Structure 1
Amino acid sequence: MQLLGRTYRIYGYQGKQVRDQIHSYDVARIIELIYRNPRSGEMYNLGGGRANSCSILEAFGLVEEMTGKKMNFEYVDKNREGDHICYITNLARLKSHYSEWEITKSLPTIIRETVDAWNMRLTAYSSV
């Protein structure tokens, strides 16, 4: 997190790798639904889906907007072995079996809560 002032390395793809993000609250909600209404032998993909997806550079941009601090990073030309340029979870099967579940925490909310949590930790550590 930029709040620590470190330089991050971005491996391959110039920071344009896309991933979807999901909040632990939404994960806990679907686990509870599956626990209460199990479907024997089923497996599901779980992630943030298209609405909660962004590239590394887009995520850095959101952090910069929220903190007012520039992200320090450097590119490493070689991508990580086995890395995907784009991974977005297909939630269709999960939603067809548990239609009452939906993602409630947006990408900006997830990042905002992460930034706030880091700020609280840094404040607590600096007062020790």
Structure 2
Amino acid sequence: MNIPVIDACVAIKWFLPENKFKEAGEILSSFNRMIIPDLFLIEFDAIVTKKVRQRLVEQSDAVQMIQEIRNMPFDVVPYKLVSGMAFDLSSALPITQYDACYLAAAIEYDETVVTADMRFFNGMRGTPFESYV
């Protein structure tokens, strides 16, 4: 894996001590570039917003997390570039359109998606795309 495709559910672990926090931190420290589909930023913000509403994160800390994630060394893949492939993948596989965007970005760049989403990960088992997740 040269440049991983990072799922938002992994990135939140860079800021909050959740399950697999240590592994997520190792990924962050191991790569100076990462790939994300543009919807990553929306998903990340949605996760942070939920944490604020659950009173797990203070509003000021949430704003700082969002600012920090925007400054990370991401290569952003436009939805327009992967939308057709993502639609085909989500129609044929047991994954959401959102997860299919991460998978399509990985296929497009011949890289691997790093995810903490076990439903996505398990949905790829036994498929021709298993090696991308």
TM interval, shorter chain, is under 0.3
- State which structure, 1 or 2, has the greater radius of gyration over its C-alpha atoms: 1
Query: Which gives a bigger RCO, structure 1 or 2 (Cα 8 Å, sep 6+)?
Result: 1
Query: TM-score, normalization: structure 2?
Result: 0.26
Structure with greater strand share of residues: 1
